Structures are given as structure tokens and as C-alpha cells.
Homo-oligomer: A and B are copies of this chain.
Amino acid sequence: MNKKLLLLPGDGIGPEIIAEVRKLIGWINEHTDLTIDTEEDYFGGAAIDQYGVPLRDETLEVARKSDAILMGAVGGPKWDNVDYSIRPEAGLLKIRKQLDLFANLRPAIVFDALIDASSLKPEIVKGLDILIVRELTGGVYFGEPRGIEDLGNGERRGVNTQVYTTSEIRRVGKVAFEIAQKRQGKVTSCEKANVMESGKLWREEITRLHGESYSDVTLEHMYADNAAMQLCRRPSQFDVIVTDNLFGDILSDEAAMLTGSLGMLPSAALGAPGSPGLYEPVHGSAPDIAGQGIANPLATILSFAMLLKYSLDSVELGDKIEAAVQSVLAEGLRTADIMVEGCKKVSTVEMGDAVIAALKA
């Protein structure tokens, strides 16, 4: 089976961490039935330097024809003063919009070996494995009308519009239900239906979709403020959470912080079935440590494992890579960012090598 993958290393530590995935791809091409053909291009600040824009149309065309895209990281102080419309982050917004990536997948996973990094008690977060599915292209961050209006009497008025349609809710709901079918089979849908009509519509449409096609999945509704509480109180009650852009922004970050290891977390943005998904680590480009060979490649490697599962139909291989990551952590290997006493500090390259060694084992 041949698949096409576009690599966008980006800025800062991006190239170093993507290099470790390139090694993994080499191993996969040599040892499995899957063959991954890669292309690669500049993106973000690197693309500004090279082409004058953070994402050129040629890159976007390659992205469209790929099965998936893996990104490193974008941005850095070098491009802080470029025009707002061509700043590195604008490249990310553009690719999401152009590929219509409406479902953001944000796992919150606690690795046994890193359990002490959490600010929560070990017995509360042990084995934690939550997936938050956040609607990414609608809601109050995009709704019209919006703006700040001068009322003339020394008063101003700031307005944003929270808006969702049936089809926007259903398409992200489908993503959540179908992922839950491959996990623990439970979806918690979060909104504020008690005080917001957009939340009432969200609840009704998710309920209808569930009844039509996904009655094998357990569906639970929870107000978003209660979800913020429950994530803190007993996070293990959750499997998949599906929620809108605003609540998802907040709940996915809270859930990520439960793990205590932001530098370990992968993410994905998916569009319609069959269209290419975009995968990237949650952490940033860390310009302060770029080029030193000490960056942690595991969040990118885990993003690649998600990519194998969700975009390349290779669930088993994705699971295998996740198990390899668990195993190198259990052996006590740590990059500088997650180093604790009694473990062995390794470089970016050594960590990548260790994951491959664990795959072979």
C-alpha cells in the first residue's frame, strides 16, 4: 500500500523533531507492507524567508494531493514584526481553512512513567486517556456580525456571534462517534444548552445523530462548566468529549494540563472523510533550544502515530509506535524537558533511535 505524506518541518525545533519521524518512515518502508512516499516543503517563518509568504499555493496543492500532512512547529521572535497577514501562524490558519479541517483531535494521555509530572494525585490520573474532539472552524471565533463599535457617548460595544448549523454540528459529531467506536465507546457532548440556544441546537442535533446511526455508543450530555469541574475531579470518567470551538479551546487545554506533560501531547485536525488530515505536536517551536539537539521528539512521533491511525488506515502500526514510546519512557530515557532524577538524559536523536529500537524488539 502506497501513501503520500507531506512533511512541513517549519521553524525552531521543527526540523529536528521531524527528522526523527523521517527515520521512523524509513523503518516502516523497509519493514512493513506500507510504503510512505514523502514530500517536504518550507512552512511558517522558514517559508517567509524562502518565499515571502508562510504558506505558498504550491505547498497547498501538494497538501491537497497527499493522504496526510505532518507539521513540526511554526513561529519565532525572528518573525514577530512581519505583517499580521503573513506572520507564520497565518500559514497554519490558511492550511486549516483551505483543507476545511473542522475537527480538532486533542488527546490527553498520562504515561505511567510520567505520572508524577501531573499536579493531580497519581491515583486520579493513572491510565488517563481522554480524546477531545473540538469543532474548529465555526462558533464564536468566526461568527458574524463581530467588531467593536463606538457608541459616541464615551461608550464602546464589543460584539461576537456564536453560531452553529445542523450540518456543522453533525459532521463533527460523526467524527466523535466513529472514534469512540474504536475506543471505549463513550461520547460526552458538552455545551450550555441551559442558557444558550446554540447549545440547545447542539444537544438536539447530537442526540438525533446518535439515535440515527450510533446507538452502539454511549452518549452523555454535560454542561461545559460541569465538564471543567469533572475533568478536575474524576477525569477517568471521560472517553471522547465532543464540543464546540470555544468550549473545546478551554476544555482541551485543561485536559492537556491534567497530564502535566504538555511537551508529550500530539494533535490532529481532520476534514471530511477521505480528505488529508493535518497532524502536529501541541508544543511550540521553542526557538530558545532550536539547533541544540535536545528537543523532545515524542509529541511529534505520537502525532505521526495518530496520522497512521486516522489518515493512513494503519491502526496497528500506530498502536505499535505508541507502545514503543511507552516502552522507552519505562526504560527511563528522558529528554531534558522531562528529565527527573534517576532517569537517563538523552538527545533528540538518541530518543528517536530508542523508539526505533523498541519497535524492533
A251 to B227, CA, bound (A): 11
Could you tell me the distance between the alpha carbons of A229 and B256 in the complex, rounded to whole angstroms? Answer: 8
Shortest Cβ gap from A155 to chain B (Å): 5
Contact flags A221-236 to B (C-beta < 8 A → 1, else 0):
0001110111111100
A121 at the B interface (CB under 8 A): yes
Q: How far is it, in angstroms, between the C-alpha of A146 and the C-alpha of B162 when the chains are bound? A: 9
Given the interface pairs A158-B201, A201-B148, the reply to whether A232 lies near B166 with Cβ below 8 Å is: no
- Bound form: Cα–Cα A142–B246 in Å: 17
Q: Which of A33-62 contact B (CB under 8 A)?
A: none
Q: Are A197 and B164 in contact (CB under 8 A)?
A: no
Does A10 lie at the interface of the complex (its beta carbon under 8 Å from any beta carbon of B)?
no
Contact at B228–A160, with CB atoms within 8 Å? no
A159 and B155 within 8 A (CB): no
CB-based contact B160/A166 at 8 Å? no
Question: Which B-chain residue is minimally distant from A123 (CB atoms)?
Answer: B119
**A200–B192 CA distance with the chains assembled, in angstroms:** 23
Chain B residues, CB < 8 A from A151: 165-166
Determine the chain B residues whose CB is within 8 A of the CB of A163 once the complex forms. 157-160
A202 within 8 A of B: yes
- Taking a contact as CB atoms closer than 8 A, the residue among B161, B246, B251, B253 that contacts A161 in the complex is B161
Query: Could you tell me the distance in whole angstroms from the C-beta of A3 to the nearest C-beta in chain B?
Result: 34
What residue of chain B has the Cβ atom nearest to residue A193's Cβ? B158
A349 to B158, CA, bound (A): 50
Contact with B along A255-268 (1 / 0, CB 8 A): 01110100000000
Q: Could you say which of B155, B159, B251 contacts A197, with CB atoms under 8 Å apart?
A: B159
Within 8 A of B (CB), among A208-246: 224-226, 228-234, 246
Interface: A350 (CB within 8 A): no
Known: A120-B121, A155-B167. A229 touches B201 (CB 8 A): no
Determine if A289 is an interface residue (Cβ-Cβ < 8 Å).
Answer: no
Check if B158 sits within 8 Å of A199, measured CB to CB: yes
CB-defined contacts of A254 to chain B, threshold 8 Å: 228-229, 231-232, 254
A233 touches B257 (CB 8 A): yes
Footprint of B on A, CB under 8 Å?
119-121, 124, 140-141, 143, 146-148, 151, 154-167, 192, 195-202, 205, 224-226, 228-234, 246-247, 249-254, 256-258, 260
